[in-house]
Structure 1
């Protein structure tokens, strides 16, 4: 394993976060603060508690997951798309670096950025609501596994995308609706039976539910099932990456 190559890719991608500090850090914090202000004022006054947890505290894991998914997919996609866009991808492909090392470098950086933003959002939330984390280790497990999985998904999107419209298609048009409809701001027990069944086909539900369980010990889905679903998503991403590198799909053209 060429650790020096991994380190070089990782540090180069992490430096992008410093160059885009306003977009990478400040913007998510402001957006999250607005969510707390708007939802806390408009809905929090009508829904005092959900499953024994104040509404503001209840939506915190959903807000963190919303930001984490968006950041990881975007960073993972942009990281590999720009080398394709500028043509420097051929330098990477011709270098004595394996595809495994390339993925570890790019995905590791994207996941690190997502986790950093997630922790910043968590710290921001503590100024608005009283938080309790019953299972801190499992919270980190859910956060890290989700960050790695969706950074890898973003990496795949970056390889697949031919233009900026395709690059932003999933982070902008797919992830937010799935997150909003995945129990981020409500418990699916509040829905009619039919829509509860439909919600179980939303993969984000399992992520949000498991993550919320690590905070308050309550969940819409068994946390073991949530971990299994994350493992399934991770396996799918690894399988797609193996196929991409074996065939050279949209890398060598």
Structure 2
């Protein structure tokens, strides 16, 4: 294992993140804070509790997941696209670095940023909405698995993209809508049976449901199913990344 290579990639990505803290941290935290103010305090006080949980507290896990998913994809895609754009990707491909070592460096840094952001938003939410965490270890597990899985997805998008505009297409047109429709602001049990069945094809439902269970012990989908689906998404992401390096898809151009 080339620990030096992993550390070098990881450290470079983290240092780049710290140089852009205003954009990388303050912007999503302020945006999420506005959600807490509007939906948690203003509207939440007028909404009926869901599964015995106040509406303001109920949406906290969903809003955290919304930020974590978006930032994971963004960080993961930007990290690998920059070497492609600058042409330094060839130095990485010719170096004695295994594909999985490069992935650990890039995806590990992207996931670390997302986890730190999620914890920061969690602390910020406490200022506006009272809530509890019934299973903190499970919460941490879901947070890490989600960050790693969607950082892998971002890595794949970064390899696929051949222009800066394409880095924004998938997060804007796919990830964000799926998150909003995945139960961030409501329980899918409130939907009609037909739409509820359709919603179960949304992978984000399982992430948010399992994460919410860690807070309040209530979920739309069994926590075991949520954890299994999250692990499945992670394995699929690893397989796609492995195939990318095996075939040189959009790397060896």
Contact 2:133-2:214 within 8 A present in 1 as well: yes
Match of 1:179 in 2: 179
Deviations 1:194-245 (A, max 9, x none): 1111111111000000000000000000000001111111111111111111
Q: Counterparts of 1:226 and 1:211 in 2: how far apart (Å)?
A: 9
Match of 1:162 in 2: 162
Secondary structure of the structure 2 residue equivalent to 1:172: helix
Unaligned runs of 5+ in 2: none
Match of 1:81 in 2: 81
Match of 2:222 in 1: 222
Matches for 1:57-206 after TM superposition, within 5 Å: 57-206=57-206
Match of 1:13 in 2: 13
Give the superposition deviation at 1:189.
Answer: 1.3
> Greater CA deviation, 91-100 or 115-124?
91-100
Q: Counterparts of 2:14 and 2:35 in 1: how far apart (Å)?
A: 27
Q: Counterparts of 2:32 and 2:252 in 1: how far apart (Å)?
A: 40
Unaligned runs of 5+ in 1: none
- The answer as to 2:242 corresponding to 1:242 is yes
Q: Normalising by structure 1, what TM-score? A: 0.98
Deviations 1:29-62 (A, max 9, x none): 1001100112135531331311111111100000
After superposition, the CA RMSD in angstroms is: 1.0
Q: Counterparts of 1:80 and 1:188 in 2: how far apart (Å)?
A: 35
Q: Counterparts of 1:172 and 1:85 in 2: how far apart (Å)?
A: 21
Give the superposition deviation at 1:98.
Answer: 1.4
- 4+ long deviations beyond 3 Å: none
Q: Counterparts of 2:38 and 2:132 in 1: how far apart (Å)?
A: 22
Give the superposition deviation at 1:167.
Answer: 1.1
Secondary structure of the structure 2 residue equivalent to 1:127: helix
Deviations 1:91-130 (A, max 9, x none): 1111121111100000000000000000000000000111
Q: Counterparts of 1:6 and 1:41 in 2: how far apart (Å)?
A: 44
Match of 1:46 in 2: 46
